[in-house]
Amino acid sequence: MAKKRRARKQSVNTKPVLLRDRTDLAWKNFALFLVLFLLSFVLYNFTSSELLKNFFGILSVVLGFLAFAILIAFVVLVILKSGKK
């Protein structure tokens, strides 16, 4: 006779994530992607190989969009933080 399987109890995280922590994380991510964007843009301008120029061009566009999206998220979090006071 096969054993019946019992449903696993999922642990519930009772510690809520603070808005300040989210803002700090968004700021760190924005700074990281901005530095990566600037690095890839500089490498795009100073490479002479056509393959590397295309690679760094696409990489700088993608990283630029990601940095911009994280900047929008950061601004929204700051507005939520200021509206909460």
pTM (two decimals): 0.73
Q: Per-residue pLDDT for 33 more than 80? A: yes
Q: Specify if 2 maps to a domain.
A: no
Instruction: Output the CA–CA distances (angstroms, integers) from residue 33 to 15, 71, 82, 85, in the order listed.
Output: 29, 10, 25, 30
Q: Specify if 63 maps to a domain.
A: yes
Q: Specify if 3 maps to a domain.
A: no
Number of domains in the chain: 1
Residue from 17, 9, 29, 14 nearest 73 by CA: 29
Q: Specify if 53 maps to a domain.
A: yes
Look up the domain containing 34 and give its range.
19-84
Query: Contact at 8 Å (CB) between 53 and 44?
Result: yes
Q: Per-residue pLDDT for 14 more than 70? A: no
13 — pLDDT class (breaks 50, 70, 90): low
Q: Specify if 12 maps to a domain.
A: no
Q: Per-residue pLDDT for 12 more than 70? A: no
